[in-house]
């Protein structure tokens, strides 16, 4: 009898907690939750079609076909859709969907991407569903995130909160391999950052120790290339005043100084490719190296390529200055120089970003969900929102949760799409009615 009473009490407590959470939501917000749940299978069907259409960043036609699938979905919601060609940087293009609301209300920029890391020659190509888990190329990163956007916007329209909202959706077609130069490939993002008051990034939800995390910062991703040269000659003369240390020893010495002198909080640096010998060359993309040499010849050239990831522009400038100074201090009889390629800038943690997370945690509280703490920036890679982070406040990780992104076997938790769409619909509705 005591066991039955205990179970009944627990059930009543659960019902009371649920009702208490629902009581904090407006009627429109409760309607949005209902719409997300009712439309779940429809959106999973669209996700399947998107995933089965290959849209590797270099598959320009595939990216355009995904954009063609999405265009009528946004138009049905009352958005004006524009396709932004990216032929100039050899990429498929971007989809921009604009919804104009009240002029005195806050403007939102929603960011996602249509491309994946899986090109047409990848063996991983198709969608498969096993209960609440789906597998497929880009199913979480970021086609699942695009579905979260659509589900949330549909719920807003159904509940009547979309009508006065100012929202622009920018879905890039090359997030995984940005067109060069980024001054062209990311110009559209920059344009809408000037228009908007806040940016919401719909890449994947971060979960740590079973808890949903809030992301208010992303680190940069810059590449560097270091070349050293020395005097080619017989190996018996190595280290002599006339012969010097050769290109490879000088390369190793510089890299060792990087390892010893650069470390600081929130910085990582990596060497991804290394080559040296009498001859050392790179291909045009800088992805493959070749070298030739003999054990009895002092090598005349060496090349290394790597990256640095920083949390702020100030940190980037500091680290670049340190690396440049180390390279300039090369050994006698050798030469060295380094160049940097600026890819994705950092998204520093700011008070404005944290204020957006506080807004999201207000939604979580009213939905009866746990508070989302800040994720360590070391655990989040670079992304498109970083290109607008200096202009407007932003929040990352509003997309679906999955595992194994960027690798065959990538999965998404379909239930996370529902949870994230509910969160996003309520958050966007609340933000969109705030005055500018």
Phi, psi values for residue 176, rounded to 5° = -75, -20
Q: Give mean pLDDT, residues 146-164.
A: 98
- Note the pLDDT of residue 332: 86
Pairing of strands 411-413, 402-403: antiparallel
Residue 285 pLDDT = 77
φ/ψ of 113, rounded to 5, equals -145, 150
Angle formed by the axes of helices 40-52 and 143-159, nearest 10° = 150
Q: Structure tokens of 158? A: 């159904």
CB atoms near residue 260 (< 10 Å): 9
- The answer to whether residue 12 scores a pLDDT higher than 90 is no
Q: How far apart, in whole angstroms, are the C-alpha atoms of residue 41 and residue 34? A: 13
Residue 283 has pLDDT above 50, yes or no: yes
Task: Kindly report the backbone phi and psi dihedral angles of residue 160, in degrees, each rounded to the nearest multiple of 5, phi listed first.
Answer: 90, 10
Q: Are 279 and 301 in contact (CB under 8 A)?
A: yes
Structure tokens at 224: 């560097």
Structure tokens at 72: 């009528």
As a whole number, the mean pLDDT across the chain is 93
Q: What is the rounded distance in angstroms from the CA atom of residue 135 to the CA atom of residue 55? A: 16
CA distance 69 to 83: 12
Neighbours of 272 (CB within 10 A): 11
The whole model's pTM is what? 0.87
Q: How far apart are CA 170 and CA 202, in angstroms?
A: 11
The pLDDT tens digits of the residues spanning 204-263 come to: 999 999 999 999 999 999 999 999 999 999 999 999 999 999 999 999 999 999 999 999
* Residue 367 confidence (pLDDT) above 80: yes
Query: How far is CA 241 from its chain centroid?
Result: 50
Res 7: pLDDT:
45
Across 55-77, average pLDDT: 98
| Residue found under tokens 């991703």 | 221
Rounded Cα–Cα distance for residues 361 and 34 (Å): 20
The DSSP annotation for 341-366 comes to: EEEEPPB---HHHHHHHHHHHHHHHH
Distances (CA, A) of 408 to 77, 105, 124, 140, 403: 34, 43, 6, 12, 11
Percentage of residues in the chain having pLDDT higher than 90: 89
């Amino acid at each position: 009898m005591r066991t039955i009473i205990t179970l009944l009490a627990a059930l009543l407590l659960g019902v009371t907690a649920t009702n208490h959470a629902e009581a904090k939501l407006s009627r429109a917000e409760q309607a949005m939750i209902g719409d997300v749940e009712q439309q779940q299978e429809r959106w999973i069907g669209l996700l399947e079609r998107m995933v089965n259409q290959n849209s590797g960043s270099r598959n320009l036609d595939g990216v355009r076909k995904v954009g063609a699938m999405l265009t009528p979905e946004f138009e049905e919601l009352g958005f004006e859709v524009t396709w932004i060609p990216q032929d100039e940087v050899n990429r498929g293009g971007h989809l921009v969907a604009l919804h104009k609301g009240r002029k005195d209300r806050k403007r939102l920029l929603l960011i996602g991407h249509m491309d994946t890391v899986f090109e047409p020659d990848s063996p991983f190509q198709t969608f498969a569903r096993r209960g609440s888990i789906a597998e497929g190329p880009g199913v979480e990163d970021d086609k699942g995130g695009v579905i979260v956007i659509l589900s949330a916007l549909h719920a807003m329209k159904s509940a009547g909160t979309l009508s006065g909202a100012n929202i622009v959706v920018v879905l890039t077609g090359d997030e995984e391999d940005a067109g060069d130069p980024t001054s062209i490939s990311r110009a559209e993002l920059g344009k809408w950052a000037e228009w908007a008051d806040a940016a919401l990034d719909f890449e994947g939800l971060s979960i740590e120790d079973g808890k949903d995390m809030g992301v208010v910062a992303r680190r940069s991703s810059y590449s560097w290339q270091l070349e050293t040269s020395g005097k080619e000659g017989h190996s018996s003369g190595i280290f002599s005043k006339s012969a010097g240390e050769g290109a490879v020893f000088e390369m190793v010495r510089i890299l060792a100084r990087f390892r010893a002198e650069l470390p600081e909080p929130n910085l990582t640096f990596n060497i991804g490719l290394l080559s040296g010998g009498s001859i050392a060359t790179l291909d045009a993309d800088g992805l493959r190296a070749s070298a030739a040499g003999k054990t009895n010849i002092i090598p005349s050239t060496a090349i290394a390529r790597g990256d640095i990831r920083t949390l702020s522009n100030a940190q980037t400038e500091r680290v670049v200055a340190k690396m440049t100074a180390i390279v300039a201090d090369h050994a006698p009889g050798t030469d060295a120089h380094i160049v940097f390629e600026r890819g994705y800038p950092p998204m520093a943690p700011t008070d404005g970003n944290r204020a957006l997370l506080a807004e999201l945690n207000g939604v979580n509280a009213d939905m009866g969900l746990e508070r989302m703490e800040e994720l360590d920036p070391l655990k989040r890679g670079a992304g498109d929102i970083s290109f607008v982070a200096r202009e407007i406040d932003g929040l990352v990780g509003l997309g679906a949760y999955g595992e194994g992104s960027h690798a065959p076997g990538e999965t998404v938790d379909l239930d996370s799409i529902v949870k994230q769409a509910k969160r996003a619909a309520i958050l966007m509705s609340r933000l969109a009615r705030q005055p500018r």
